[in-house]
Amino acid sequence: MKKLVALVLVALCGSASAQQVTYKGEQADFSVVAENPKVAVFDIAASETVHALGGKIVGAAKTALPEQLSAVIADEQVLDIGGLKNPDIQKVKQAGPDLIIISGRQRSKVDSLSQIAPVLDASPDQSNYLTSLYDQVGQIAKVLGKTAEGEALIQELKKEVASMQESAAAYNQSDALMLMFINGRYVGFPKQSRFGFIHDVLGFPETGLKMDASARSNPLTDQQILAENPAYIFVFDRTQLNGDSIADKEKIETDAIKQTDAYKNGRFVYLSPRLWYLIGSGVYSTPAMAKEVLSPLN
C-alpha cells in the first residue's frame, strides 16, 4: 500500500495539551499539532475528506472543486489558493495553514510550499483503490485529531461500497472497457490503473485487450475496440476540461464504435471528465462515480 508521504520534516508550535501525531513517510518523519489544525488543500479528494470530517479548511483550489464542496466554494473565509497546477504561493501564505495537503499535480511547488507549512502528499495508490481511500481517510483523521470520526466515516464508506457492489452485480457478468478520449484518440485503462474503478470497485471483468496498468496511457483504435467487442464501454472526453463544450460525439462515436454490442445495446456510457479525471477516490466522489456508471444501465 502506498503511504501518504511526508515531504518535509517540521514540528509545529501549539498548546502544551495539543496531541502530537507522527507519521513514518517514505522520505521523512514529521509531526504536526493535531488540535484543530488549519489546512490548505490542493488535492480534491483530500478536500472531500477534510470537509467530511469537519476539518478547518483555510485555503483550497476553489475553481477545481466539485458541486459536493459548494459550501467550501461559497465560504469567504476559505481563500482561493490557486489552480491545481499553479498554486498561488502568496495566497497560501495569506491563508496561514498549519498543514498543506497536495497530490502529484503540485509536486513541482513542494520547495516553495514547504517554506510555509508541512506538506503532505495524499496521492492515491491507483493499484489499490479502496484500501488507499480508507488509508487516506484514516491518516487525515489523525492529522485533524478526529480519529473516531475517521473510523466512523470509513465504516460508512464501506457500507456504501457494499451497496454499490450489490447494485453492480446485476450487470457485471459481462466484460467492460474504460476509455478516455483525448486529442482525437481513445486511451484504455485496465484494472489497477488510474481509471480502473469499474473493475477494481464495481467488479466488471476486463476485456481481452492487452493493456499496461502502470502505463500513462494505452492507445486503442476503434477497430481494436470493435474486434474485442465489449459488452459495456464507459468513456469520458478529456478535452471537455478545456472548455464548456459537450462531448464531441461525432469523433467519439465512429462507425466502428456504433457496430459494437455495447453501443447497439445502450451500454455505451458517457462519464463526467471533471469527476473522473480531476477528482476520483474521494469520500463524496466515489459514490458519485458508481452512480454515473450504474444509473444509465437501469
pLDDT tens column, 194-225:
999 999 999 999 999 999 998 888 999 999 99
| 294, amino acid identity | L
Q: Examine the pLDDT at 59 and tell me if it is beyond 90.
A: yes
Instruction: Give the separation between CA 84 and CA 173, rounded to whole angstroms.
Output: 38
| Alpha helices in the chain, H assignment, sequence order | 44-52, 70-74, 89-95, 110-113, 129-143, 147-168, 197-200, 222-228, 249-252, 255-258, 261-264, 273, 285-294
Mean pLDDT for all residues in the chain? 87
Confidence of residue 179 (pLDDT cuts 50, 70, 90): very high
Instruction: Give the separation between CA 129 and CA 198, rounded to whole angstroms.
Output: 11
Q: Which of 279, 261, 282, 260 is nearest to 271 (CA)?
A: 279
Predicted pLDDT at 14: 36
The number of angstroms, rounded, from the C-alpha of 287 to the middle of its chain's C-alpha atoms is: 12
What's the residue count for the chain? Answer: 298
Q: Which of 173, 133, 75, 117 is nearest to 284 (CA)?
A: 133
List pLDDT tens digits, range 2-16.
444 443 333 333 333
Confidence of residue 31 (pLDDT cuts 50, 70, 90): low
The predicted model scores a pTM of 0.87
How many beta carbons lie within 10 A of that of residue 172, not counting itself?
21
